[in-house]
Chain A
């Protein structure tokens, strides 16, 4: 399994109830069910992937994550995962707020736009960056947002999301092994993975 998904999996408690937003054909869910005995559901917009997930015996709902996440009761899940999709979300604050309503914790991962390779393309070549992590041209990209790790931390603070845990990884997208970027993560990391909780309200 992809290294970023391995990190996410390591954060999930055995037996937890997990919702995976944009779960694809359910690779992460299958892994978590097998390795951690979780009870999981997924939401996916692509019919073929939903069908593949269902034929793997997973529980999945076919639809748009922004709409489908709204129907779950408060705190129905322990962890709600949004892996590699944040850059495509129209209203990230609202979606993450919903994630933290239906789940106790949220896990969010995204490609780091402040990676030195991205910066170099813009600086030296003077063109919109295309990388393994962000492989699209400006005219055909589903990614409507560019996010740096630093931006995301600031966004969480402003939106009232507590960062419980953060890992920056230096690993190309599909690789199964990877390294964690501890030094200058905003410059060196290809991906950021954040574990979020609701910020504790200030004492009265």
Chain B
């Protein structure tokens, strides 16, 4: 995901928030991941915004994209220059209205923002896992999130919502734990990576592994980190998040701080300078090994194979939720045909599915940008989920409304 979080959006802020931690799967009951290996204890960093209703039926699980984290909305500190990554969507009166719903956002297993990942200490050795960390899948990430949701005492989520790799987790949630999901919102996502998406991830991984400071993944004790490789990996990612139109509009062939080309290998063009800046900024907050693990998890994701014996229709036969699928016209990383294919499989199962391809010039990253149309659509979808939730259990009053009705 990209760096667009400094925009202001109508509606309020969730204000100051706090990162929390949930630890589970301590030995002798470790988490067995899909590869067959075990890991434990596992910690997930997470945040919550809004209030959980007494019936615990208003929880919305927000799932972040590749390099996101638990900090989806609000500020840690009054001096924070930027709020969480989806502050434009989450808050009082916003698309995911914290006045009505309780939002949970957890950092993924394998990540590096407080959740257990390759940079965490392996209790067996007392040193960081490095490549000893088992390769995890989107399914493993979701299994870990399930443990957190159970821990919070929530038996059914009002909705799971996410874009890009977060959307993959949404789809996985909906077929892996169908009884726990009422609504599922997949934005700019796919049931499986195309060769194009895998190819970009592979180039990004090779950039990291080719950095001499990577040292086979065992760099944590060394002052030099594989920063160059990680920065290049991030630059590649950034190209895929934009689009031809977006880059033309934003940079075209404009030069950076100069009147003429340099005839050397400095950053002549604005686009070069932008990518270098994004790469540099990224190494301060992300771990190179985590990048390898999360990109691999995204590449391995194949909902059809994992849940439908190769058939998307069979995979979605397990689902019980209502779906909202959104794609964006200029997204060439997860193009609309991939969203349409999942919608087709959902329809074939007679599921309640809504789909819209939103016209957006900003490529894959469009789902992160402030978009009043997208906010309104998500808001109404969540409203509808709340209505069906209320209709199913009308006899247990939740708030003062019930009294007024009598």
A, B: real partners: yes
Residue-wise, chain B 124-148 has the 8 Å CB interface mask toward A (1 for contact) of 0000000000000000000000000
A22-44 residues at the B interface, CB under 8 angstroms: 41
Given A51-B373, A51-B377, A55-B376; A60-B384 close (CB under 8 Å): no
B348 at the interface (CB under 8 A from A): yes
A interface, over-half SS: mixed
Give A68 to B347 CA distance when docked, in angstroms.
Answer: 9
A140 at the interface (CB under 8 A from B): no
Give A190 to B316 CA distance when docked, in angstroms.
Answer: 45
Interface band, chain B? 20 to 34
Question: Which of these, A50, A57, A58, A61, contacts B347 with CB under 8 Å?
Answer: A61
A-B residue pair count with CB separations less than 8 angstroms: 60
Chain A residue with minimal CB distance to B329? A47
Residues of A within 8 A of B353 (CB): 41, 59, 61
Are B347 and A51 neighbours in the complex by a CB distance under 8 Å?
A: no
Chain B residue with minimal CB distance to A58? B354
Which of A58, A59, A73 has the largest count of B CB atoms less than 10 A from its CB? A59
Residues of B within 8 A of A41 (CB): 352-353
Question: Which of these, B354, B373, B377, B379, contacts A61 with CB under 8 Å?
Answer: B354
B381 at the interface (CB under 8 A from A): yes
Are A55 and B350 neighbours in the complex by a CB distance under 8 Å?
A: no
Count of interface residues, chain A, beta-carbon cutoff 8 Å: 19
Task: Looking at the assembled complex, report how far the CB atom of A20 sits from the nearest CB atom of chain B, in whole angstroms.
Answer: 13
With contacts A57-B387, A59-B352, A62-B357 known, what are 19 further pairs, Cβ within 8 A?
A41-B352, A47-B357, A47-B359, A50-B356, A51-B358, A51-B373, A54-B324, A54-B354, A54-B356, A54-B376, A54-B381, A55-B373, A55-B376, A55-B380, A58-B354, A61-B347, A61-B353, A71-B347, A73-B349
Task: Point out residues on B near A: beta carbons under 8 Å.
Answer: 322, 324, 340, 343-344, 347-350, 352-359, 373, 376-377, 379-381, 383-384, 387
Task: Point out residues on A near B: beta carbons under 8 Å.
Answer: 41, 47, 50-51, 54-63, 68, 71-73, 76
CB-defined A-B contacts under 8 Å, sample of 9:
A54-B376, A54-B377, A55-B379, A58-B354, A60-B355, A63-B340, A68-B347, A73-B349, A73-B350
The 8 closest A-B pairs by CB, nearest first: A71-B347, A62-B356, A55-B376, A54-B377, A71-B344, A57-B380, A50-B356, A61-B355
